[in-house]
A = this chain, B = another copy of it.
Amino acid sequence: MLSVQEARTRIIAGLRPTQAEVVALPDAWGRVTSSAVLARVTQPPADMSAMDGYALRAADGAAGTMLQVVGHAPAGHPYGGSVGAGQAVRLYTGSTVPAGADCVIIQEDVVAGAGTVTLAAAAQPGRHIRRMGQDFLAGAELIAAGTRLGARAIGLAAAANHPWLAVHRRPRIAILATGDEISLPGEPLGPGGIVSSNAHALAALVRAGGGDPMVLPIARDTREAVADAVRALSGVDMLVTTGGASVGDYDLVQGGLGERGFALDFWQVAMRPGKPLLFGVLGGVPVLGLPGNPVSALVCAVLFLLPALDRLLGLPGAAPRSVALPLGVEVAANDHREDYLRATIAPGPDGSDRVTPFMRQDSSMLHVLASAHGLVIRPPHGPALPVGAPVPVIRLDTVGL
């Protein structure tokens, strides 16, 4: 059986970033750049005042000097002339420092008279001046291709004079839940029936990861129903299925997709929960088959679907970030499957965070997963560990889960 890392590597290898599209700056938040963003302007565009005060020549900067105020240059209204000996120009934060001047004295350090100021302190050469280009120079690469744009990057692209940005199109992810026993929320439930939760939980995760989910109607438990559900699949970057992928007689997804020419890459991963994961290609569309149990489906989505989305968006598709936290309880030795234990995170006796796996790790218990703060990663054949031993933890509150 494949390891989790091998499975992820094979999934990522089968994916290509989506095409670039141009979006207006305000729509680019959370998107991933498809090309580098270069500065179109120099910032600041000239030497500018960092404070409200007066521009003068440093040679006139001794305390007690009286200067003639020859101009007044609010931000956006530069002084047209040059500051000569014995002269000063009134400036504000963001005003251009006029020609001739090489320092700024703040208004608190002068005494204003009738058309004059007298320096109450010495002016320092260069002080309170933001130099031309100190933030960035025109032509500089400010944001690399393949960067997810946060609010700061949006601000930086704006400052660099970009009303539009080229980003990867949102990957469209079709989601197919299978099962005779499941109904959509609010719809009639049959005997022994349960309400479908996987498709909409996965759709929410796709949205969190920057994709565009498309939830297909539930496919009933026949190969024909599954084959029908994917008959007209188009304009889709990936198909995600849930359920119908385990060992029994009713394993439908491989069979149903097989009728449409599905080529299996791998089936089964040495992990818990989520062993019956499958991956392959159907008519050029990558297919990720997740288990039907809600916990298994969501854990596998964190480990494989979010990295796949990243890759489709032009990011590397790395493993979810983990942090090391000390255990709040001891854990037993692990078998050959990589284990992802649902756990709470709370301060221990010393006040720092500890991670404590739940006693019960049943892969059908969504309520337990929803109240978990993280997943403790237990590697294959990992030894028993005592209280306080550091373990890698995927924090679930940092991935939109």
Contacts and interface: CB of A to CB of B under 8 A. Distances in A.
Interface string A358-401: 00001011111110000000000000000000000000111011
A93 B130 contact: no
Nearest to A39: B367
A195 B161 contact: yes
A191 interface: yes
Nearest to A195: B161
B41 A189 contact: yes
Question: What is the size category of the interface that chain A forms with chain B?
Answer: 35 or more
Contact of A194 (B45, B155, B208, B400): B45
Contact of A76 (B43, B150, B179, B246): B179
A155 B195 contact: no
Interface in A96-148: 96, 107, 130, 134-136, 142-143
Nearest to A221: B74
Contacts of A81: none
B298 A152 contact: yes
A44 B191 CA distance: 12
A283 interface: no
A159 interface: yes
A202 B94 contact: no
Contact of A94 (B29, B150, B179, B397): B179
A76 B163 contact: no
Interface stretch (A2-10, A12-20, A226-234, A247-255): A247-255
Contacts of A191: 78, 96
B204 A151 contact: yes
Given A92-B249, A152-B366, A161-B185, A194 B78 contact: no
A362 B182 CA distance: 58
A303 interface: no
Contact of A185 (B25, B192, B401): B25
Given A26-B204, A136-B367, A162-B185, A179 B298 contact: no
Contacts of A43: 194-195, 366-367
Interface in A234-254: 246-250
A203 interface: yes
Contacts of A50: 362, 364
A202 B135 CA distance: 19
B179 A75 contact: yes
Contacts of A93: 246, 248, 292-293
A196 interface: yes
A127 B191 CA distance: 23
A197 interface: yes
Contacts of A157: 185
A201 interface: yes
Given A292-B93, A294-B159, A200 B248 contact: no
24 contacts: A29-B400, A43-B194, A44-B364, A45-B194, A52-B246, A52-B248, A75-B192, A95-B192, A96-B191, A134-B364, A135-B365, A150-B204, A150-B208, A150-B397, A151-B201, A151-B205, A151-B208, A151-B298, A152-B396, A155-B294, A158-B197, A159-B194, A161-B186, A162-B186
